[in-house]
Each structure stands twice: as C-alpha cells, then as structure tokens.
C-alpha cells in the first residue's frame, strides 16, 4: 500500500543516508580533517561534508572520507588516509557478519553505502523536537552527504521540500509516525510514502517550488543561524514565518481551495484522501466462483 500510494502521489523517493560500518575511521571532526595535512585539491577530491540529524539541526561540522574507486590510488598515497583505510579493512574482516567480511572488506576505502546527490540532496532529520512549528528539512549541495541518522531525497525536485516543510505534513507525521520520548520520529515508509497528495499540475509544482525557494532565502537572510535557532517557536524570524505561511496557503488551496480551519480538518482531509488513494490502488477482486464449479 505504501509503495502504491507513493507512485500515485509522485513523491520523490526518500532513502536513508549512508551507514558507515567503519568503526569511525572514515568519519572526521574538523580537527581530524586538518590533521590529515592534505592539499586543497586532495580535499576537494577525497573529502565530503556529512550530516546526521543533530548535525543538520544544530549546525555541527563533520566530514567523511569519500573515495571513488578511480581515486583509490591517490588516497592510498596519503599515509594518514591509507592508515584509516587499513583500519577499516581489519575491522570488517574481523566482523561476525559474513557480508562485512566477504564484500565490505574488499572496499575498505568506502562507507557501506555511498549515496550522494549529483546536484543536491533534500535532508530530513529522523528525530526532531515536537516544539517546532514545522518539521526541519533542508537542501545540501553535491559536496555534502548524509549518515544513516537522516533521510535524503537525492536530486529531488524542490517542490518536495515545500511539502515536507508544510503544516499539513507535520500534522500527518505527528499522527501516523511513532515518537522517541516526545520528539517526532520520522519514517520514510510510514510517513512519506503514505503522505496523501492531490495530483499536482506543472503550475502547482512551479508554485510550490517558489514557496520552497522563499523559505530557503528567508533562512539565508539570518546566516549563520542554525535550524535550531531559526525554528525556536519563541524566536522564529518574521520573514521566515511569513514564507512558511505563504507555503501553507499555496499547498492547502491545492487540497481544498482555501486554508484549513484547524489541524482536525487537515487530518480529516488527509485520511479521506488516503482512503481514496489506497482504494484506487488496490487490485480488483476476482469474481466469486459459481457453486459447483470445478477447481
């Protein structure tokens, strides 16, 4: 049902970030990166910024070794990187997991997964505070990647950000997804793949893209404020709040032609739409066999 709903609503796929399975040897703090003593060109080739949920929300600065196969010889010529690669190989060879020993150990220069956007990635933290008026979502470039503590929509159309950043999506996630203590716990399968969205015309997608751009531009006006700073409900900047209000108005008019009165009305519409979408996607039931018919 989740996959059928996703196909009907045309949402971009949302996937986990990269699980390192590296014992920490391919992840770097800012100080550890400096300690590699590599050139700017080597850094451009072999290092990427990496975000988990906490990094993205609070502005943390972490990096990872990112070695494509064609750059392995270059990396191994750097003693500090070769040492880290060999440490990963030893860790994986000693793993009780057969896949780690037989497959991952053959590429110790890489994270277990190597997902990154060719142009950009939409970042969705898995855990976030229930106090925020909107779910945190952001955009990174092709120099940045994610850990498996965040979800990514790789090279997704920007209008997907407008959906995730909306009030109606927060209400959906708060209702259908579980929580960690009181915090929202986002689920790509339960929350995103099932999110009911009306059929969007190209004009609607263009309007939502503009709304997403306005949200991102409003954030830029307050650089270097973090997501945690910007979405503090007691301190949210007026221009950012206005950008979100505009986004909500555009999206909710797509749903019902006006703003929703409250969250109850939002949920009623979502579940009504979800029921219709899943019913339309369900396979037709076969005709009942006549009595006495042979099997």
Per-position DSSP letters for 106-167, written without gaps between them:
G-TTS-S-----SSEEEEEESEE-TTSSS---EEEETTEEEBTTEEEEET--THHHHHHTSH
Q: Which residues contact 96 (CB under 8 A, 6 or more apart)?
A: none
pLDDT for residue 211 is more than 90 = yes
Q: Is 74 a domain residue?
A: yes
Asked if 88 and 227 sit in the same domain, the reply is no
Mean per-residue pLDDT of the chain: 91
pLDDT for residue 3 is more than 60 = no
Asked if 161 and 248 sit in the same domain, the reply is yes
Could you count the other beta carbons within 10 Å of the beta carbon of residue 233?
Answer: 11
pLDDT for residue 40 is more than 70 = yes
User: H helices of the chain, where?
Assistant: 2-9, 30-35, 40-46, 53-58, 72-76, 79-93, 98-102, 159-164, 167-176, 202-220, 227-230, 238-256, 263-281
pLDDT for residue 6 is more than 70 = no
pLDDT for residue 76 is more than 70 = yes
Q: Is 276 a domain residue?
A: yes
Final residue in a domain of this structure, among 75, 91, 112: 112
Asked if 162 and 246 sit in the same domain, the reply is yes
Q: How confident is the model at residue 64 (pLDDT cuts 50, 70, 90)?
A: very high
Q: Is 169 a domain residue?
A: yes
Q: Is 247 a domain residue?
A: yes
Residue 44: alpha-carbon gap to chain centroid: 24
Looking up tokens 């709903």, which residue turns up?
5
- Reported as half-sphere exposure (CB side, CA atoms, 13 A), residue 37 has a value of 4
When pLDDT is averaged across residues 261-285 and rounded to a whole number, the result is: 88
Q: Is 287 a domain residue?
A: no
> What distance in Å separates the CA atoms of residue 33 and residue 12, rounded to the nearest whole number?
33
Asked if 32 and 169 sit in the same domain, the reply is no
Asked if 151 and 271 sit in the same domain, the reply is yes
Q: What is the pLDDT of residues 107-135, one digit of tens each?
A: 999 999 999 999 999 999 999 999 999 99
**Percent of the chain residues past pLDDT 90, beyond the cut:** 85
Asked if 88 and 154 sit in the same domain, the reply is no
Asked if 56 and 197 sit in the same domain, the reply is no
Q: Nearest-CA neighbor of 90 among 78, 32, 82?
A: 82
Provide the number of structural domains found in the chain.
Answer: 2
Asked if 57 and 155 sit in the same domain, the reply is no
pLDDT for residue 288 is more than 80 = no
Could you count the other beta carbons within 10 Å of the beta carbon of residue 1?
Answer: 12
Asked if 74 and 136 sit in the same domain, the reply is no
Q: Is 294 a domain residue?
A: no
Write out the residue range of the structural domain in which residue 6 sits: 2-13+123-281
pLDDT for residue 79 is more than 50 = yes
Residue 21 zone, left/alpha/beta (φ > 0; ψ -120 to 50; rest): left
Final residue in a domain of this structure, among 80, 112, 144: 112
pTM (global) more than 0.75: yes
């Amino acid at each position: 049902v989740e996959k059928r709903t996703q196909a009907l609503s045309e949402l971009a796929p949302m996937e986990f970030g990269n699980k390192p399975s590296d014992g920490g040897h391919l992840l770097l703090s800012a100080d550890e990166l400096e300690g590699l003593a590599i050139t700017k060109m080597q850094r451009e080739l072999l290092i990427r910024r990496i975000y988990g949920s906490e990094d993205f929300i609070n502005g943390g600065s972490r990096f990872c070794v990112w070695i494509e196969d064609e750059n392995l010889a270059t990396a191994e010529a750097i003693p500090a990187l070769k040492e880290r690669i060999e440490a990963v190989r030893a860790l994986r060879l000693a793993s009780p997991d057969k896949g780690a020993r037989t497959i991952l150990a053959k590429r110790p220069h890489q994270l277990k997964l190597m997902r990154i956007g060719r142009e950009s990635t939409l970042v969705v933290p898995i855990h976030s505070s229930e106090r925020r008026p909107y779910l945190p979502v952001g955009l990174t470039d092709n120099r940045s990647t994610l850990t498996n503590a965040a979800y990514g929509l790789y090279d997704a159309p920007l209008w997907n950000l407008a959906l995730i950043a909306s009030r109606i999506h927060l209400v959906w996630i708060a209702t259908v997804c579980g929580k960690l203590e009181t915090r929202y716990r986002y689920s790509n399968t339960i929350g995103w793949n099932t999110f009911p969205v009306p059929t969007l015309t190209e004009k609607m997608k263009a309007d939502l893209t503009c709304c997403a751009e306005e949200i991102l531009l409003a954030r830029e006006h307050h650089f270097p404020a973090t997501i945690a700073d910007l979405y503090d409900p007691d301190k949210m900047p007026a221009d950012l709040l206005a950008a979100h209000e505009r986004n909500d108005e555009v999206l909710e008019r797509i749903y019902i032609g006006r703003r929703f009165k409250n969250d109850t009305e939002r949920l009623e519409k979502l579940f009504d739409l979800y029921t219709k979408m899943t019913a339309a996607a369900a396979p037709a039931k076969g005709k009942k066999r006549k009595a006495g018919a042979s099997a």
